[in-house]
Amino acid sequence: MEDISRRSTSQGQKSVTSNSSWKVNKDYIFWCRKCNIPLLDGQCGICHEKCPSIELTQPGDIRFSSRHEQNIINDLMSGSFGANPLAGKPVLLNKIPGEDKTDEIIVDGIRFGILRFDMKELVFRLDLMIEGALALIGSGIHKKLIRISSHGRHLSGKAIDGSEILECSDDIKSGDTVLLTGKNLAGFGISYRDSSELKNPGKSLRIKKIDSKKIAFLSKNPSLDDIVRANAPYMKNLVRDAVNTIRGIANQREFRDSPVYVSFSGGKDSLTTLDLTRSALRGQIKVFFANTGIEFPETVEFVRRFCRENNIDLTEVEAKEAFFENLPSFGPPAKDFRWCCKICKLAPINTVIEECTRGGRKCITIDGKRKYESFIRSRIAPKEENPFIPGQVSVFPIRNWRAIEVWLYLYYRGLEYNPLYDLGFERVGCWLCPAELSAEYYRFKELHPELFKRWNDYLLEWAGEHGLSDAFIEHGFWRWKTLPPKMKRLAEELNIDTTLKSKKEEFGISVTGGVSPCKTGGYTIEGRLTGLMPYEVLNIAGILGESIFSEDLGLLLIRRDNSSIKVFSSGHISVNARSKEDALSLFENTAKQSIRVKKCTKCGVCLKVCPVGAVSIEPQLRIKKDCIRCGKCIKSCVVVKYSDYTSPSFDTAPFFIP
């Protein structure tokens, strides 16, 4: 097979647009019907014919189906229709919006159906699309088949009376998806009755979609080598752009003497990035792997073995038990509450970057993030400076690649990849990650029942302490702090209460007196602090202002400009400022700093961002007198960022008196 990184473009071939001008979402692919091959460019690299495009539901991060997914499709097809005409064919899956794992099935250049994980029943379903139904009928499927007498193109969405059913197979049950044929028409629908009652008067089925088109499966089943070869001209340009991105940035004057690290998570994207970097740079590169302590065992083993067998210098930084040690303070992480990433990933990585950036040097990190992975990542630039780690510059050479392009690269290069992909996982990092789909979570249960039990038992106990049912955990609601509309609808349909009951905490801070005019001038707000003494607040007082502490009086006084904060040993807090807004802002800042003292995880991120070295975390968090109150440590603090979740009792809004 030809080297896709060297092969020249065929004469007359449609040119490939540079990565820099691509749309964020390429919502199409092409399909060569002659070779029956999915293409990323409009001209087949084998037969050189121009090929039609297929529109994809956005975001369009299409990929090859895994062995596990193929087995699921086979079981569903065989169970419903007695056969699986998709077997042996290249099946693509395009991720689309849904309650959980939801993929558009593309096969032989047609939109066959949708494979989805049903969050009510917690099982996979396959919903046909009209092209898939027509192809099944054309293939000679005779199970779940109904012939109707109705004709005309306006039957889609309509109910059919039993008197209009001419014949049906004897395997139909109420609720089944059925194939429909009629005079010059075919389609699919939902049966309201069993076969024995379908011809009785009354509504027997509802037609979902019906059409006069003829669609058939293609006869040729290409090999993986054929697919790679057909896409080689396109991939050549893609690889060249990625390699040039790495070389171009690494060779810039400010980075020429900088060490180059590759962030290797054990996933397909970082594996591709690692291989591209090794091809792009002649010098020795270093690879680091953040072992969070909750990585899939397969991922840890794969990273170590791959680097060992390929003579790669691997630095493995370990968080060890950091996740479970901090779990009592934060509770379970969520998609919108990912405290674990800073504590278990960013903090350990600091130890690597600290050596790299010593003496004010720059450190280049080659990263495999892609725009198609999430909305947040959709605007990543070719390079970014890390706001939390001064001196670290991240480069994203495959930011414009889709999953199918990553897989084509790995297949061509013959690279061993993480075995979890073939076992049905899209995410191969932390096994309890809230960003993991419920479909993957229950697949994880099958593969690692002991690890699953450890986490699920904790979740059930946590749910019980907060007045939530086991069903709240079972159906995956724990993965959000603020439920999205789709999960709110699901909760209503399942009649699951999602209201989190407050758990009595040893530590708390609350407003007791509201904002009111003070006789001596300005405005005052009163509050109460429990579980933290004035001498402990003194540790961070420097970031709030100049402080005086009287142990005899049990009073901490903090002054800044024309404002003051008083913290009494009784737990009473009094804040005075020139305006209502200033008083409320100062109280909120005092509250967040108190939370920071009480719940510091010692992740060390604040140490790196402080420009004057005024922060220490041993034996506990302390802000020294050198503090210039720039606020950088506050912005980087995971405890402050998620203070609304870690200390939900603190809510100033109801007490603001206009």
Residue 398 shares a structural domain with residue 487:
no
Beta strand 260-263 with 363-366 is: parallel
Residue 271 shares a structural domain with residue 311:
yes
Q: Which value, in Å, is the radius of gyration of the alpha carbons in the chain? A: 30
Q: What are phi and psi of 68, to 5 degrees?
A: -65, -45
The answer to the question of residue 195 being in a domain is yes
- Counting every residue written for the chain, the total comes to 658
pLDDT band of 4, cuts 50, 70, 90: very low
ω before 348 within 30° of 0 (cis)?
no
Give residue 72's domain range: 62-211
Question: Where among 395, 413, 431 does a domain terminate?
Answer: 413
Residue 468 shares a structural domain with residue 589:
no
pLDDT in tens, 566-599: 887 767 788 899 888 888 888 888 888 888 888 8
Distance, CA of 47 to CA of 32 (rounded, Å)? 9
- From the number of C-beta atoms within 10 Å of its C-beta (0-12, 13-18, 19+), residue 313 rates as exposed
Which residue reads 């690290």 in tokens? 261
Distance, CA of 156 to CA of 642 (rounded, Å)? 49
Residue 461 shares a structural domain with residue 357:
no
Which residue reads 């960003």 in tokens? 435
Residue 384 shares a structural domain with residue 480:
no
pLDDT at 422 over 70: yes
Residue 409 shares a structural domain with residue 281:
yes
Question: Where among 211, 238, 261 does a domain terminate?
Answer: 211
Question: Where among 362, 397, 413 does a domain terminate?
Answer: 413
pLDDT at 5 over 50: no
Task: Check which CATH number belongs to the domain holding 198 and give it.
Answer: 2.30.130.10
The answer to the question of residue 557 being in a domain is yes
Distance, CA of 164 to CA of 146 (rounded, Å)? 10
pTM higher than 0.75: yes
The answer to the question of residue 176 being in a domain is yes
Residue 357 shares a structural domain with residue 488:
no
Residue 488 shares a structural domain with residue 571:
no
CB 146 within 8 A of CB 178: yes
Residue 518 shares a structural domain with residue 389:
no
The answer to the question of residue 432 being in a domain is no
The structural domain count of the chain equals 4
pLDDT in tens, 362-409: 888 999 999 887 656 667 777 888 765 667 888 999 999 999 999 999
- Two tokens at 481? 């702090």
The answer to the question of residue 207 being in a domain is yes
Q: What are phi and psi of 303, to 5 degrees?
A: -60, -45
Residue 357 shares a structural domain with residue 389:
yes
The answer to the question of residue 336 being in a domain is yes
Segment holding 555, helix H or strand E? strand 555-560
The answer to the question of residue 592 being in a domain is yes
pLDDT at 10 over 60: no
Residue 458 shares a structural domain with residue 569:
no
Residue 488 shares a structural domain with residue 516:
no
Task: Check which CATH number belongs to the domain holding 320 and give it.
Answer: 3.40.50.620
The answer to the question of residue 41 being in a domain is no
Best-predicted range by mean pLDDT among 17-21, 100-104, 509-513, 556-560?
A: 100-104
